[in-house]
Amino acid sequence: MLRFDDRVAIVTGAGHGLGRSHALLLAERGAKVVVNDLGGALDGTGASAGPAAEVVELITKNGGQAVANADNVATPEGAQAIVQAAVDTFGKIDIVVNNAGILRDRSFGKMTVEEFDAVLAVHVRGSYLVSRAAYPYMKEAGYGRVVNTSSPAGLFGNFGQANYSTAKMGLVGLTRTIGIEGARNGIKANAIAPVAWTRMTESLLPAEFEAKFTPERVSALVAYLVHDSCEVSGEVFTVGGGKVARVMVAEGPGWRSDDISPEAVADNWGAIMAEQPYVLTAADSMKAML
């Protein structure tokens, strides 16, 4: 059994849905958990200490160890306070699961700048700020696990979610770079793109999804990715309904010519669009241009 005894974890947005499920699973398996949740509505408005406190009560009742925190991940002070709660209460920080999120869906032509910024602030800025606050402790300890929460909507695009998909693809870049930079200090970062029945999706998914797409089925992958034994870093996985799959940012073999021109590009479009064989890293991408 993969256990987390002596590990300290932060799960953001853990008052509801996926985050709540991640926090319960990690605590059940021995981790000491900071249960963070601002406690607002789905669109990010409002705040309440209630949801985080309720999850902590449940963990404690089950014999686990947890502390509640209701700070906002999207402000530097809030992110710092979340990490401080881990250090003050449990003495260190080993695991960060950036899960907090909001929705402000609207079609691209109608979306306001405020709606765009608000969604990027929680998902991208929030994940960046909490990871940033935890990073010095992880570096010092020579150990860390970060999981960021992307979305199929970000990886593949989705109607009405220009803000959300921009944010969720942004998290792929953040994850991959933390993975590269963290390697020398034992820090691994990966991202999940989940599907689960939560308050965020219950009005969008068909009713029959509720029983199959449980948050617990996503948490199983999260627990693996934040365990000592996890060897991958900088990877992205779709996960939902019991299925897990690697998602690759891949570059096709392409076409090159010293006489490149707009017409030559048009003439070679088939080769440019080819998918196999592909490369997976910036270094290999550059090498293929030489």
Query: Per-residue x/- mask for ligand NAI, residues 212 to 251, rule CB under 6 A?
Result: ----------------------------------------
Q: What is the DSSP letter of 125?
A: I
- For residue 199, the minimal CB distance to ligand NAI (Å) is 5
Distance CA 167, CA 148 (A): 11
Residue 44 engages ligand NAI in binding (rule: CB under 6 A): yes
Catalytic residues: 164
From the CB of residue 245, how many other CB atoms can be counted at a distance below 10 Å? 11
Contact range with ligand NAI by CB under 6 A, out of 98-106, 178-186, 241-249, 273-281: 98-106
Q: Is-contact 67 34, C-beta < 8 A?
A: yes
Residue 199 engages ligand NAI in binding (rule: CB under 6 A): yes
Distance CA 112, CA 110 (A): 6
Matching residue, tokens 């220009």 = 162
Length of the chain: 290
Q: Is-contact 95 9, C-beta < 8 A?
A: yes
- For residue 224, the minimal CB distance to ligand NAI (Å) is 17
| Mutual angle of helices 17-28 and 50-61, in 10-degree steps | 30
Q: Which of 11, 99, 138, 170 binds ligand NAI (CB under 6 A)?
A: 99
- Calculate the CA dihedral of residues 244, 246, 249, 252 and round it to 10 degrees: -120
Query: Per-residue x/- mask for ligand NAI, residues 159 to 198, rule CB under 6 A?
Result: -----------------------------------xxx-x
Residue 72 engages ligand NAI in binding (rule: CB under 6 A): yes
Site residues for ligand NAI per CB under 6 A:
12-13, 15-19, 36-40, 42, 44, 51, 72-74, 99-102, 122, 126, 149, 151, 194-196, 198-201
